[in-house]
Amino acid sequence: MTSQQAKQQLPGLSRPDTPLDKPLQPSAFPSSVDHAPGTKPQCQVERLHIKVEDGPDGKVTGFLHSPSPYRPGQHSKTAAVLLSGAGGGVVGPSSMYLSMADKLASLPNQAVLALRLDYRYPARNKYCVPDVKAAVDFLQREKQIEKVVLVGWSFGSAPVFTFAAQDQRCSAAAVVAPQTAETEGMYKMPPRPVLLCHGTGDRTLSHSCSKRLQGMYRDADAAGKGVVKLMLFDGDDHALTKNAVEAERLITEFIMRRAGVELSEEAVKKAGEQLLPASKEEKVELMKKGGDLKGPESVD
């Protein structure tokens, strides 16, 4: 989807969903990109096929990062579910989901399970929201998870805030370069915390999208008890390739706080470890391998 096409719906503020007259095409799941490159994760990574009850193509796929060896009860009761953009995929903007999931699941004291979830039908919020629900149901049923922190990139903000509006198991949300289409659920987020990250040089979705979402949250937070934080990265692009390490650290610490992890010196050090590729080219290549740049999604 081009910037010009996005502007045709709402100038500078949102990306429209896939046209309703376009036939449904199941996501062609990418090759197995299971952990941050060049590292030996201190966690185990399991490829999942989770049953979805809404009808078409009834399984959604993802990678679950958990402690190794896994023992029930050794992890936080809050997990992270990481969602990509309009192309689907499982590595996130600048491949930061790989690093984030590895770090969370290998925290030294109380690990946080992290699920990198694909979509059955990318960019179709109607189907992506049941994907999220199925994943949260699975985590609750199989891993004794009680709450989740949702993280979304670009289009991923739509299923994040739509699901959160419907289900209080979402305790907080963080989004990178979000759209505003189908994000009315933001009005139901307070007092649950929200973190917004956006590059001011984003040519796919203007950073005014994040400013608008921040305003929606504040309008809804009549009691003033919620927290919405907006982090703008000067001149950065749609995938935050210039500031990926800092953005990933901020989101990782945000998840840890929401999961009740004590931010010890050791935990903070792990959150700040640089596992991401150094160059933009390597980050983009991983996004391609992970399926995150299929279809309409863009780095710029």
Sign of CA dihedral 272, 275, 276, 279: positive
The CA–CA distances, whole Å, from 192 to 134, 150, 237 equal: 22, 12, 28
Domain region containing 145: 45-289
The answer to whether 174 touches 100, Cβ cutoff 8 Å, is no
- pLDDT at 228 (0 to 100): 98
- b/e map of 137-156 (b: 16 or more CB within 10 Å)? bbbbeebebebbbbbbbbbb
Report pLDDT digits (tens) over 21-75.
455 556 655 555 777 776 667 899 999 999 998 866 789 999 999 998 888 778 9
**Is 107 inside a domain boundary?**
yes
**Is 6 inside a domain boundary?**
no
In the chain, which residues have pLDDT < 70?
1-32, 38-40, 55-56
- pLDDT at 231 (0 to 100): 98
Residue 152's closest CA among 255, 69, 244, 83? 83
0.75 surpassed by pTM: yes
- pLDDT at 37 (0 to 100): 72
**Is 129 inside a domain boundary?**
yes
**Is 17 inside a domain boundary?**
no
CATH number of the domain that residue 56 is part of: 3.40.50.1820
Q: What mean pLDDT is reported for the chain?
A: 88
**Is 22 inside a domain boundary?**
no
**Is 130 inside a domain boundary?**
yes
- pLDDT at 280 (0 to 100): 93
**Is 8 inside a domain boundary?**
no
Q: How far apart are the first and last CA of the chain?
A: 12
Please tell me the total count of domains within the chain.
1
The CA–CA distances, whole Å, from 227 to 5, 82, 223 equal: 33, 21, 11
Helices (H), 149-188: 157-166
